[in-house]
């Protein structure tokens, strides 16, 4: 299957964004010793044990509405990931990533909607899944774990997953929110504006050092710091990753995303080790900044760590 790299999220920006979207314009990205070209050590980048089947749901006019990726062997109630597409993106832009996540035992549900910022299309997807879970004639009957539902989205979809959780009663079922390439509020349309203060579940924000126009680290960090006291928040900034890093197979975010949901929904201790105080996420040179809300001095700048080590040597 061919994949299309979606850059339409940048159309609302200045002409500088076009230059920003061309990796060749950044000379140090071609450094043979760069962290970007090293294989990340984070586990769970490989495929899981499940064989996957896709299910495309159409409306009465045979127009595609939803797509579900799920293990063929539907045994018991499985955890769910609701996905929010970026602007003008479709499921094919994330197909390989969704297959990967489903292979680890998740039901992954996406929509054929590319305007997901309000969260409404994601709410409709979730409601459909609830109906299927309750329908004795559906293959998903009693195979949806309504206590283990999370959501993740890219760019406009990263605002949509927040709004799904905070603006709809169905959002109470969401147990964790992941925003990838979360746009700074100034790029959001009025109906897509997100309010971090309303989030009451573990919240993860992923962005890249090359995504400094749409999703700069300062605005991502501000979103984490606006969480109410007691709400767990994480911010990770990956080196040499642009706004579309998550597309196709998931790029550098693939392993982290898998580990996050395995840790949260499957009690996977191997995945959980990655996020511990001295876990790999704090040591992996592929990440520039790591921030966990509520821990003193918990912003980890990898360059500063190297300097300290060199000074001691």
pLDDT in tens, 49-96: 999 999 999 987 778 999 999 999 999 999 999 999 999 999 999 999
Domain that holds residue 187: 8-312
Burial 102-118 (b: 16+ CB within 10 A, else e): bbbbbbbbbbbbbbbbb
* In-domain check, residue 183: yes
Range in 4-8, 121-125, 190-194 the model is least confident about: 4-8
Report percent pLDDT > 70 for the chain: 80
Question: Quick one: pLDDT at residue 213?
Answer: 96
Q: Is residue 73 part of a domain?
A: yes
In a domain, 264, yes or no: yes
| Full-model pTM | 0.82
Residue 32 has pLDDT above 80, yes or no: no
The reply to whether 1 falls in a domain is no
159 occurs within a structural domain: yes
2 in any annotated domain: no
Per-residue pLDDT for 246 more than 70? yes
Is 3 within the bounds of a domain? no
Asked if the structure places residue 36 within a domain, the reply is: yes
How many domains does the chain contain in total? 1
The pLDDT tens digits of the residues spanning 256-279 come to 999 999 999 999 988 988 988 878
* pLDDT surpassing 50 at residue 27: no
List the CATH number of the domain containing 24. 3.40.50.1820
Helix, strand or coil, per DSSP, at residue 165: helix
Cβ atoms 72, 50 nearer than 8 A = yes
């Amino acid at each position: 299957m061919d994949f299309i790299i979606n850059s339409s999220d940048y159309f609302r920006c200045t002409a500088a964004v076009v230059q920003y979207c061309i990796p060749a314009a950044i000379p140090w990205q071609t450094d043979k010793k760069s962290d970007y070209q090293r294989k990340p050590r984070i586990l769970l980048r490989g495929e899981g044990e499940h064989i996957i089947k896709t299910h495309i749901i159409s409306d009465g006019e045979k127009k595609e509405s939803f797509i579900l990726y799920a293990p063929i062997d539907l045994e018991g109630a499985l955890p769910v990931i609701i996905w929010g597409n970026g602007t003008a993106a479709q499921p094919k832009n994330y197909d390989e990533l969704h297959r990967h996540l489903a292979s680890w035992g998740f039901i992954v549900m996406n929509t054929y909607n590319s305007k997901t910022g309000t969260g409404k299309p994601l709410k409709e997807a979730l409601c459909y899944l609830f109906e299927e879970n309750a329908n004795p004639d559906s293959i998903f009957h009693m195979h949806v774990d309504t206590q283990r539902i999370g959501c993740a989205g890219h760019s406009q979809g990263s605002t949509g997953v927040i709004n799904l959780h905070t603006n709809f009663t169905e959002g109470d079922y969401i147990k964790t929110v992941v925003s990838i390439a979360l746009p700074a509020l100034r790029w959001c349309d009025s109906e897509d504006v997100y309010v971090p203060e309303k989030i009451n579940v573990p919240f993860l924000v992923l962005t890249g050092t090359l995504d400094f126009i749409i999703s700069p680290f300062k605005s991502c960090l501000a979103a984490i710091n606006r969480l109410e006291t007691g709400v767990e928040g994480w911010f990770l900034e990956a080196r040499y990753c642009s706004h579309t890093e998550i597309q196709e197979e998931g790029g550098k975010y693939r392993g982290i995303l898998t580990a996050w949901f395995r840790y949260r929904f499957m009690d996977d201790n191997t995945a959980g080790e990655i996020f511990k105080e001295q876990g790999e996420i704090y040591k992996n040179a592929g990440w520039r900044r790591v921030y966990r809300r509520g821990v003193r001095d918990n912003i980890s700048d990898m360059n500063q760590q190297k300097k300290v080590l060199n000074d001691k040597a």
